[in-house]
Amino acid sequence: MSQGRIARRFAALAREGRAGLVTFVTAGDPDAATAAAILDRLPAAGADVIELGMPFSDPMADGPAVQAAGLRALKAGQTMIRTLDLVRGFRVREQETPIVLMGYFNPILQYGVDRFCVDASAAGVDGLIIVDLPPEEAEPLAVPAAANGIDLIRLVAPTTPEARMPKVMAGASGFIYAVAITGVTGTASAAQGAVAELVARVRRHTDLPVVVGFGINTPAQAAATAAVADGIAVGSAIVRQVEMAIDSKGHVSPDVGDRLIGFVGQLAAGVRSAARVVA
């Protein structure tokens, strides 16, 4: 395991004996200034790791809430350069909370893979989750990412066959992202029995921390999942707080940040209240 910010954070969580809260927000949603202000407040609200969505016009794994967030950000002028600037600004003020960029390979390819990895590392990015890049085709990104100290985080789905697990784990770093449901984000709730079985299956193939995401929408669900996983990722339910702060004329309420941060605080309290049933 690398000794970057992600490894240090999960080692600290293990010493505390609790799971971590991984919060997803979309870069530039609903606009650049508000997104930057929200990002700055997430660590104090209880975010242990921040996933930052890279807006993309043709997502394949995002449900309605995350798709809408991406479109809002693109309409507000968000670009890859602005996303890296957002991280760079955050790092001026906060050095410890890991940031993982999540999205699709096409925008990285358009930016230039080698240039992207150099710029992302310089900005303060710690990891990448690229949902449409299978292990067999990951080398063009994996090599420059590793050379620049960026973890390439792999996803495992409930439908991933046992025989494929070693191939998925090969070259993975940071943590393993276990997708709790079949389908896109935010459209169903994860069944706790199935989540526990999936986490146990992943642990048989890796010593990396296991973070469960997709299908976790409430503080109670976060707490239940925190009992069996090393981290809980919540996305759609968080970005939906932005959606609820926009009126019928498209105006964003001034309390959008307070609304979102308040919800993250509830999730964090749920995660911290969970009694671990696995080491």
Residues classed as catalytic = 51, 62
Helices 256-273 and 236-243: crossing angle, nearest 10°? 160
Contacts 24+ apart (CB under 8 A), 4-9: 4/98, 4/126, 4/149, 4/151, 4/174, 5/96, 5/97, 5/98, 5/126, 6/49, 6/98, 6/100, 6/126, 6/127, 6/151, 6/174, 6/175, 7/174, 8/96, 9/48, 9/49, 9/96, 9/97, 9/98
Cβ atoms of 230 and 49 closer than 8 Å? no
Cβ atoms of 46 and 21 closer than 8 Å? yes
